[in-house]
Structure formats: C-alpha cells, structure tokens
Amino acid sequence: MNVCKKEMPDSYSLKIQELEKEESDFFLENLASSDYLKNLKFFWVKKGKMRARITFALHKEGFAKSLPGAPFGGFWSEEKLSSADLEAFILEVIQYLKSEGILHISIVQAPKPYVCSSDLVGYIFFKIGFKPKDILCHQFYCGKKRILKWVHQNQKKFQDRLKENNLKSKVGPISNFEFLRQINVWNQKRGYDEHIDENKFIQQVSLYPERYYLIGLFREDELVAAAVAVRLVSRALYYYKSAINPSVKLKQGGDLILHELFSLAANLKVNFIDLGSSNNNLGVNHSLIFFKSRFSNDISNKISWELKI
C-alpha cells in the first residue's frame, strides 16, 4: 500500500510504502518488527525506475531504526548515483521521518561488497550530521572464480584432515533446531556471551528456508561442531554463527568448518563470502581477525550511524 508519492526536482520522486510481503534479494527487508508501530520503505525513483531505497521501523517513542534485528540496515542503491542524488534522497527521507514525529534515527550501514556506493553513502551520512556510534570490521573472500580455485586447491588437504579427526561433514538445509541449543551451550562453556535469539531465528528460517544452511561435523553420528550460513543476498554467503564442542578434541576444527563454508559458496556460485565481524568487548579481537585473515582477501567496515534531529 502506497503511503505517498512526492515529486522532486530533476525528475526524481520519493515513493513511500508500508511494508508488504514481496520478493526482495535482501530478504530481511520484509520482516517487520512487532516492537515498532509501522515499517516503511522509501524509494528514490527516476523515470519509473527505482534508483535507491531504504527501510525504517518507526517506534512510538520517537525513534526510527533501519531493520532492527538484522545484521545491517536497509539502504540499497541499484546503481551508482551521484553524491547530489544520494544526498537529496537521504534528506527527503529525514524530512518525512521528522514529519512523523521521529527525533532519533539509526542505521547500520552494509559493508562495501554489498553496496557499491557504501563509502559514498557513509561520507554523506557524516556530512549531513550522522554520528558513528559503532564500527565492526568484516572480513570477506571476494571473487567467484577465486572461491572455486580455493576449493579446488584445498579439497584433498581438508578431506585428509576429516579422516584424521574421524569426522564426517554434512551441509544442507536446516531440518530441525536442536543444534541451536548445542551452539549456545558450547559457546557459553568457552566464555562467549553471544546468544542466538531462537524464536526470531526459527521464524526467519521458517519463512525463508532456502536461504539458510547448516554445516555440521559429526563423529560417530554425534554433532561435534556446527555453523550457520545465510544467503543474505543472492550473490553472497554470510557466515552467521559457529561453535565447536569444547569437550571434544578437534585438530583445526575451525579450518574444517570454513572449508565446508567455501565448498558451499562454490556450489552456490556466489560472488563473495562474508566471514562476519571479529568483535571483542575488551578491544580489538586480534586472534580472531588473524584466524579469518587466512580465509579472506578483503576487509570492509560496518558502521552504525545515529542522527538526533
């Protein structure tokens, strides 16, 4: 349902639409948050073609957030736009949110591999008055042909390691959610405070089962290591969550999980793998960044922006 359509100079128009179930490459755009009053999509349209878009959830207490609960916000540009066009779009969105009584805006900006103009958008956010609240460092392995080559070159080595550890691997769609409890328990035993929101995760998998994959390592039919991979967009695979049973001795278990992730990415023919952030509440997580550096060839920051009107 269209809320409004405002004509702009230079043949651009701002189209505003309430959230509806529709096809979107970034499927999390379509998941409304029950904690918010309304969810709106803003489109920047020229000559009947959508050039950029962003989705916000509006809260009754006067703040708006772009995709609460998602790994990053909903700003997307389908093609390279000029800085003036991007700034005009963002300013129009802010003006509309202000008219709705919004006084506080937040958005987590997707790293550069997802959106070609991400750096330019970040620059415009800053110049408009947004302040960076948080920065997470994401590591990537980019290049469809490079992923295929990596898998081909390392296949035998990792198959031998599976045999040495008396392990079998299984990769496929998620059929049940017992592994969630195990991941949470294993990570808690290792002192990690990260926790999967089971209800939200089950809802997302139930709505979009084709986007989620479970990577499991088994020893005599017992799950000893697991990871979740998510196809957030069709051209990418996101390494969401992983854990290894601390009571089981595995030689280079993390390497084995990532090899299965790369093999899955090769089979899906994605353009890049997002290995996620390496956050540590105490400071830079040097050890995790170093580990992922062996499986990455690019780095891009994910910035959380806030604007108080």
Mean pLDDT of the chain: 90
CB atoms < 10 A from the CB of 247, how many?
Answer: 8
Q: What is the pTM of this model?
A: 0.91
What average pLDDT does the segment 56-71 reach? 91
Q: What percent of the chain has pLDDT over 90?
A: 68
The DSSP code sequence of 145-196 is HHHHHHHHHHHHHHHHHHHHTT-EEEEEE----HHHHHHHHHHHHTT-----
> What residues have CB less than 8 Å from 113, skipping those under 6 apart?
140, 142, 236, 271, 272, 274, 298, 300
Lookup: tokens for 110: 């997707």
What average pLDDT does the segment 134-161 reach? 96
Name the more confident of 42 and 193. 42
The three-class DSSP label of residue 21 is: coil
Name the more confident of 33 and 114. 114
All structural domains of the chain: 2-136+302-308 (3.40.630.30), 144-270 (3.40.630.30)
Rounded distance between C-alpha atoms, residue 161 and residue 183, angstroms: 23
Rounded distance between C-alpha atoms, residue 273 and residue 283, angstroms: 25
Q: Which of 34-48, 90-104, 157-171 has the lowest mean pLDDT?
A: 34-48
Residue pair 182/245 in contact by the 8 Å Cβ criterion: yes
Q: 């891009």: which residue's tokens?
A: 300
